[in-house]
Structures are given as structure tokens and as C-alpha cells.
Structure 1
């Protein structure tokens, strides 16, 4: 029997902040009370610290198998745990693409031995693997991923009949990357004709335009309404898309939900002049008005979840000219610190951070006994010092790729402890690597 007693934390949970003790036993939250007076195997003085449910990141690219020169499940789960992310859902555009049940099972096998965080993996959809997609078990797989716009990898689903069949027959949540490929190709051809190979990163949000995003997102919403699909649209990047979603229906009853990513809440097109390809993402970081509109959608309930779309590439890859440089960047270590910085700036509350990074993800994906600080739930918890500044440098990033788009940024809050399924996986710069995370289960 293993017990950990967290004393005097300001517990941020379900719309409230309450000072309490929290007792962990055998991986679960045993008791929450104003004062728990027992002898535990380990006691942590959390006075002055805030205790959050661990972030559940519903969109990461950890690159294993096939692209492990960029990242792997061990390295990126370590960075995630240091950043207060206790569970992740990983995308299928690895090499080979996760398009069969065997390849999906292979990734789970790797994670069971290597991941410091809890984990789940999306089953990938392509133009010709519907039979495999329909074999996916809703109870132990987070969802089906459909690229309705090309991204890293070769998984674009551009056959309209296939899309219709996926939306019609999918037995579980369908998560989509929405950018209209024809619009993007047209825009790119126009800019190539005008500028040749001298296209710059500043043109990225014009090539992968707001129109391309809205056209694809609105098509996905239309298909979902037609077939009553459980649809989740990833990384909303425009203010216009926000209106596609409902903020009146309780989240548990929604059939169509949406996610915003930290980089679309933090950066805008003015930052390209300094950050260059380091902030090249698909969908693109767009205007300041788009950034403000997305944040408003997060706060008013049109957008349900905040995630990272963590997608590392090597420095050498990112330093190539715009047309050759891949899209994506590493974020899991610094997503929560960035959100806490936004709290210090008065843009979002602590209870909203807990809601959008943990509670709502658990509800949206029907995750079993996670995402809340409740007795009987798994102890996925994060202690945070809201007034302990640190500056992001190449020396303290943990990503295998060795860089961060936040380099040079000073954050006022820092994660001090991370508990993964009751295991104190991270404490003030030190990791416990003997225990791995658990496979997520879903109440479907």
C-alpha cells in the first residue's frame, strides 16, 4: 500500500479554489478534506501552491515509430510530465501511418514500456482503410483521426465518398484536421507564380488561409449534422470558425466540439518577423483578431478544450527556407506555464484553465475516472507555484529536438510536482522513471 498526503494545497477544481489536504492511495485519490491527520508514506507541504487536475492533451505528435530522430514517446512524455501534462492522445501520422489495428497495437505496446504519462492513440483514416477503422474499439481508443487537409505525413482524406462513409459509419469520436486542400494549392500556386522560391513565412497564413480553414470546418460540421457523427474539430485557428460551434448545450450532450491550441492563443502574424519558421504550424498562426476571437470562443464555451498539437522537428529542418521547412513545433513542456502567464495577464482564470485542459477533455472523450480532483478518481495531479519565474532556454528544454518556440520567454509560474496515476513522476526537476503511465479507458 502506497500513500501520499498533500497538505494545505489550494485545490483548483470544478469551478472552485479551496484549501484542502488530498490523500493518495494506490494510485487513486482516497480522500479530500480540510485536514487529514494520518501518517502517510510521503507527505508534501503544498502551502502556497495550487493543485490542478493534470492536463489531458488531446493532440500530440510524439513521432514514434519512424521519426524518432525528432522525438520519441519516452522523451516527449518526460517533457509533458515536467509541464504538468499527465495524459496525452497521440496522432497517427507516424511512419508507417497508423492505418491498421496491428500498427495501432504496436504503438500501445511501446507506450506501455516507455511513456511516463498516461496515453491513448488515435486510429488513422485514409482513402482506403475504412474496414480497419471500423474495427476500432471505442472503449480503449480515444478516437479516429481524419486529415481533411494535408499535414506532416501522407494521410489526406480527399475522397468525398470516403469522407461520407467515415462520418456515417464511425463507431466513436472522429477528430478532424480541417483545411481545404484545393484552396491551399490554389493559393500556393498564386504565390509561387508571383514570388517563385522567395515565398516567406509571412505569407504562410495567406497560403493556408482563413478561407481554407472555414471551408473545411464548415463541411465537417455539415457532414456531422447529416450523419449525427460525434465530431471533434482540432486546432481552430480563425475567429470566423468559432461561430460554427454551440455554447448553449451542456458539453456532455454536445455532438460537435472544438479545440484551440496554445500557439493560436499566444502568437499572431506579427510574430513571424521575429520567430520565423519556429512558429510555422498547420493551420497557420493568423491575425491578432483571429487570436482574440479564438480566446473569446474558449472563454464563452464555443470552444471546449485547450491542447498543444505538440509536433517537434529538428533545428536543421526548421532552418530550411519556408517552402522546405516543415510545420509544427514542440509545446508540451510549456503549454501550462503559457496559460498561467495568460492568467497573470488577466486573460483567463485558474478555474477556466482546469476546465479547458482537464475537466472538459475528460467529458468530451468520456475518459474513465480522470480529469477531475475527486475521491475514487485516478490521482493525475499537478502542483504549481504561481510565483516562481523561469526563463525558457535551450539549456532547460527537455524535447529531443532541443528547441522551443518560447525560447527567451519568462514565465511567472512553474510546475513543481506532477503525479501520474498516483506516481510522483516529477518533482522540482527530477523524474521517477521506474513506473510508466496507464492506458486511458473510455466510458462508451
Structure 2
């Protein structure tokens, strides 16, 4: 079908301008002022922002094996409702994505059920190096290493294995960096004092700045030694931001970083009211860390904005500290949350689009996505910057039916989301027609 978007405030490649965009089948056919096409369905954007579809490089959609929390269908529905048209999912499912066979199994699930474009990370372990060597670099998003204890037996803690992995792939290696030994020592101290019901306020002390910095700095040193292409997920401390560069373009960087919404929205002061509902790994930390992360995002030491969307059931999150899992659902609300920073002048909208759309496409060499360009896939999002609404259980799309933002009023709303030219979401309604594709890469 053809769609003609009229009078949009297009945000693309550092520029905001009013224009029309013609969508023909899966592609952007034309970008110009005063386009006419009698065969196209017209959407009058009325000055709303038009941005490329958001690319989220870090989600946990829980399928296979953990589908009581969510699945690829439910969470990708929530994603398109939030303007995220492309996701890259993590390997700590059940079974874990640590063989090529398991990787292709997840692609098969997504092909049948996903509402958003998709790719998956291959999980590195202490003993699957030979399988990793067989991996086609065009077949998936990259390699994921868990260098912290978030994920049980996916922890990679053999330093020789880590160095060998770094030396044997030219794919992006995405790393969760927290030092296991530091965390175990801290946890033992607080368990001795409180048992299993440790007050949540100690979470950022157990999973401390020291644990994050020690792991991140070691991974970066190893990447520099081996020449590996390293991307550090969910940086959470001001100290870590000083490990990254902003004096060269992203396309020339070998070591990159991302920040997640929760580390720039919440602080340790919020544990008193939010409790385990804002328990993440790495932990939400201090106001000083939050301020430092904002500074690094704005000055380009941090390259990408992501969610680390990781749903759990309410029953799971309400357990005592040592039993309550870390993570929370975010894909539906991330873009509108960042729009709060745009509307209050803290984040230029051009910078937001750079970090959420352009830079993931650059970093992962994604083909024909991440920009509004003629000939590119029509992954597009319209945002009304003056459409206040409040998050409630009635409008949450996640399978888990809760959000750390419940009760929050956002001033902006996603009104339309296109996935490969298909109108996947319109003013609160999600189309049941799926038009998602497996990502392809320019590698």
C-alpha cells in the first residue's frame, strides 16, 4: 500500500525540516515538499515529528523457555506501540542461544511471530569457542558476553577464554561488564547482616561502581590488546564514561558504549518508593552517576541509547531481594520518556535520533535502516509532542502488565509506527498484520 505523510517535521541526519514523505510498499519512495499522489492514503502529520524507526540493540523478549514473562510476539507488539521498529535480542533464554542451531531456531520463531524487525546475539560461553568460529558474521547482530553474574551459567569468567574470543571474531562483541568476584564478596557481607531480605537500597552498593569499572576497564584493555570490536552495554557509572572516546567519528571507533533509560531516569533515591521494581543489573546508582552519564551522552562518549527491556512477572518482582530478579519492561515507554528530555530542553531531538536510530545502524552495519532516505525501508515513527497521557495497566502492552512508569504522565505520544511500509500502529491500535523482516548487514 502507498502512504503519503504530509507536513511532517522530519528529524534526520542532524536536521529538522518540514516535508512530505511518500511510502510505496516497503520503501521510502520520495522525500520532498508538496508531494501529490492520488493513489496514496494521506496522513496529515500536522507538524508532528517524523523520525526513523528506533533500533533497540538490547532487549530480552524471553522466548524460548521463559514465556510466562513475555514472548517475541507480545514484546514486539509493545515495541511498535512505542516506536521501536527493530530489536536485537539477547541469548540468555532457555535454551540459551549458544549454538548456531539454537540461533536459527530463534530466527524461525521471530519470522512467524514478530511485529518488529529482528536480529539476535550469539552467546559466548567458557566452552563454545569452536561454534563461535563457525558463525557467519552476516547472520546475526553480534556476539554477547556476560562478564557479570546476572545470568547464572552464561557467565564467562575464564580470562583465557575471553581473550581467545576477542582474538577470534571480527563481529561486534557486546559485553555486560560487572566483576563477579567483587559482587560475590559484597553480597556475602549483606547476607550475613540481613539474610535474604536485604533492603533494596543496598543493591547499588552490592553491585558497586567498583564492580562495574573493574570489569569494563579490563574488557577495554583486552579489546585494545587484541584489536577486538567491543561494545559495552548499559554503562551505569560516571567513572566508566571516562574510558570512552569522543574525538573520532563512531564509524572509526573500535570501542563503544551505550546507556539505558533507567540509568538516566532513576537514582538510588527512588528505591524507597519503587523498591525491586527498579532492580536492574547493573544497578541504578547515584545522582552523580546519572549526571555523569547525561554528560557523556551529550558529548558523544556514549554512542547509543537502548532499553535492556527485561520483563518479569509481578509475583517475581515482589519477592525478597535475593529472589527478586533484575530487569524491567521498557520498550513501550522509552521513546516517550526520552521525549520528556527533548521537551524540557535537556536533549536536542536531533541528538536523540542520532543515538536511537542512526548510531545503532552505523555500529552494527545494518543495511538500509536507521535513516529517512529514499530507497531505504520505510521504518518510520510519528510523534505528537503535545499529547499528554498517563501510563496505567489499561494501556500497557507488555505481557507482564506492569511498568516502572505506572502513574507517570508523559507529554508526548507515538501516533503512528510503520514497519517496512506497513502501518503497524496507529493511535492506540496495533495492526495484527505482521510485516517484520530479519535484519541484513553490510559486513
TM-score class, shorter: over 0.9
C-alpha RMSD of matched pairs (Å): 0.8
State how 1:6-155 maps to structure 2 within 5 Å. Answer: 6-155=5-154
* Separation in structure 2 between the aligned mates of residue 230 and residue 11 of structure 1, nearest angstrom: 32
Listed one character per residue, the Cα deviations across residues 370-411 of structure 1 (whole Å, up to 9, x for unaligned) are 000111111110000000001001111000011000001000
CA shift for structure 1 position 170: 1.4
* Separation in structure 2 between the aligned mates of residue 169 and residue 198 of structure 1, nearest angstrom: 43
Structure 2 gap segments, 5+ residues each:
none
Whether the 8 Å CA contact 1:30–1:376 is kept in 2: the answer is: yes
Report the counterpart of residue 261 of structure 1 in structure 2.
260
CA shift for structure 1 position 135: 1.7
Q: TM-score of the superposition, structure 2-length normalised?
A: 0.99
Secondary structure at 1:384's aligned position in 2?
A: strand
Whether the 8 Å CA contact 1:82–1:333 is kept in 2: the answer is: yes
CA shift for structure 1 position 41: 3.0
CA shift for structure 1 position 417: 0.1
Secondary structure at 2:239's aligned position in 1?
A: helix
| Equivalenced residues, count | 443
Structure 1 gap segments, 5+ residues each:
none
Whether the 8 Å CA contact 1:259–1:305 is kept in 2: the answer is: yes
* Separation in structure 2 between the aligned mates of residue 9 and residue 145 of structure 1, nearest angstrom: 38
Report the counterpart of residue 426 of structure 1 in structure 2.
425
Whether the 8 Å CA contact 1:71–1:401 is kept in 2: the answer is: yes
CA shift for structure 1 position 25: 1.1
Report the counterpart of residue 354 of structure 2 in structure 1.
355
State how 1:315-326 maps to structure 2 within 5 Å. Answer: 315-326=314-325
* Separation in structure 2 between the aligned mates of residue 424 and residue 274 of structure 1, nearest angstrom: 38
State how 1:306-317 maps to structure 2 within 5 Å. Answer: 306-317=305-316
Secondary structure at 2:291's aligned position in 1?
A: helix
CA shift for structure 1 position 153: 4.5
* Separation in structure 2 between the aligned mates of residue 230 and residue 372 of structure 1, nearest angstrom: 23
CA shift for structure 1 position 327: 0.2
Report the counterpart of residue 390 of structure 2 in structure 1.
391
Report the counterpart of residue 298 of structure 1 in structure 2.
297
Whether the 8 Å CA contact 2:18–2:47 is kept in 1: the answer is: no
From the superposition, tell whether residues 3 and 153 of structure 1 become closer, same or farther in structure 2 (CA, over 3 Å).
Answer: farther
CA shift for structure 1 position 330: 0.2
* Separation in structure 2 between the aligned mates of residue 409 and residue 83 of structure 1, nearest angstrom: 15
CA shift for structure 1 position 154: 2.4
Whether the 8 Å CA contact 1:367–1:441 is kept in 2: the answer is: yes
Whether the 8 Å CA contact 2:388–2:413 is kept in 1: the answer is: yes
Whether the 8 Å CA contact 1:93–1:154 is kept in 2: the answer is: no
Secondary structure at 1:145's aligned position in 2?
A: strand
Secondary structure at 1:123's aligned position in 2?
A: strand
State how 1:183-194 maps to structure 2 within 5 Å. Answer: 183-194=182-193
State how 1:190-339 maps to structure 2 within 5 Å. Answer: 190-339=189-338
Whether the 8 Å CA contact 2:420–2:435 is kept in 1: the answer is: no
Listed one character per residue, the Cα deviations across residues 55-100 of structure 1 (whole Å, up to 9, x for unaligned) are 1000000000000000000000000000000000000000011110
CA shift for structure 1 position 171: 3.0
Secondary structure at 1:252's aligned position in 2?
A: helix
Runs (4 or more) in structure 1 with deviation over 4 Å come to none
Whether the 8 Å CA contact 1:370–1:378 is kept in 2: the answer is: yes
CA shift for structure 1 position 193: 2.0
* Separation in structure 2 between the aligned mates of residue 48 and residue 436 of structure 1, nearest angstrom: 27
* Separation in structure 1 between the aligned mates of residue 197 and residue 406 of structure 2, nearest angstrom: 27
* Separation in structure 1 between the aligned mates of residue 96 and residue 285 of structure 2, nearest angstrom: 29
* Separation in structure 1 between the aligned mates of residue 70 and residue 197 of structure 2, nearest angstrom: 30
* Separation in structure 1 between the aligned mates of residue 365 and residue 206 of structure 2, nearest angstrom: 36
